């Protein structure tokens, strides 16, 4: 067995379990559409525990990265900027073609348990799970060709975790592009985790506040 084959086997072993979990997640979403919020939380918590046990990320290392100085926070800020621009661009596309179904997974919140699951699976867990899986583990720097192929695959896998319609998959792939470019440029998963987390806190935090306000009134 040559070195290239060992790298390939290592890549497969690294990603086989998360890919199987995602396949099961997609099938569950298609078959059990009334249980999205439970399925979504299960997907994230299983992979979060798996990556933690594998030591694919460290909460302490993430916190330590905050001390990375201007260069770290500059990269985080640039990632957030281009991530936001990607969302703006896809919103424009949605408005241009309103008749196309995005097929986005809709998490309905109508009780306190579902609110906790919503916060966990839209704010707390996704930045860690998605960045470790789709960016760090699925992206291979073996050579330029493989880097391009694995990046495209990771972007597609990210999209399939958010939607089950072709138009929606295309839009989600645009969302993922800035995160993938940021990781390729910095090779620092904590840059994309931090940027992703900040964006989720802002966007989904607003949703949580709206839910609270609705329940209070």
- How many CA atoms within 13 Å lie on the side-chain side of 152? 5
pLDDT, tens digit, 9 for 90 and up, residues 8-64 = 788 999 999 999 999 999 999 999 888 999 999 999 999 999 999 999 999 999 999
d(CA 66, CA 210): 30
Q: Is 103 left (phi over 0), alpha (psi -120 to 50) or beta?
A: left
pLDDT, tens digit, 9 for 90 and up, residues 122-169 = 999 999 999 999 999 999 999 999 999 999 999 999 999 999 899 999
Q: 64: how many CB neighbours lie within 10 A of its CB? A: 11
Q: Is 2 left (phi over 0), alpha (psi -120 to 50) or beta?
A: beta
């Amino acid at each position: 067995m040559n070195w290239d084959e060992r790298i390939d086997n290592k890549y497969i072993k690294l990603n086989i379990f998360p890919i199987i979990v995602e396949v099961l997640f997609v099938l569950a979403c298609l078959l059990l559409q009334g249980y999205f919020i439970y399925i979504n939380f299960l997907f994230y918590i299983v992979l979060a525990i798996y990556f933690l046990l594998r030591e694919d990320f460290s909460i302490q290392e993430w916190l330590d990265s905050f001390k990375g100085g201007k260069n770290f926070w500059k990269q985080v800020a640039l990632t957030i900027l281009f991530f936001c621009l990607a969302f703006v661009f896809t919103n424009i596309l949605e408005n241009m073609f309103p008749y196309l179904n995005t097929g986005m997974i809709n998490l309905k919140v109508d009780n306190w348990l579902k609110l906790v699951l919503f916060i966990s699976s839209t704010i707390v867990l996704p930045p860690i799970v998605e960045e470790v899986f789709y960016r760090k583990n699925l992206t291979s720097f073996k050579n330029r060709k493989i880097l391009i192929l694995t990046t495209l695959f990771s972007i597609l896998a990210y999209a399939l975790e958010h939607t089950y319609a072709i138009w929606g998959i295309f839009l989600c792939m645009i969302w993922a592009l800035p995160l993938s470019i940021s990781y390729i440029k910095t090779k620092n998963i904590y840059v994309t985790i931090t940027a992703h987390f900040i964006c989720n806190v802002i966007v989904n935090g607003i949703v949580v506040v709206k839910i609270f306000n609705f329940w209070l009134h």
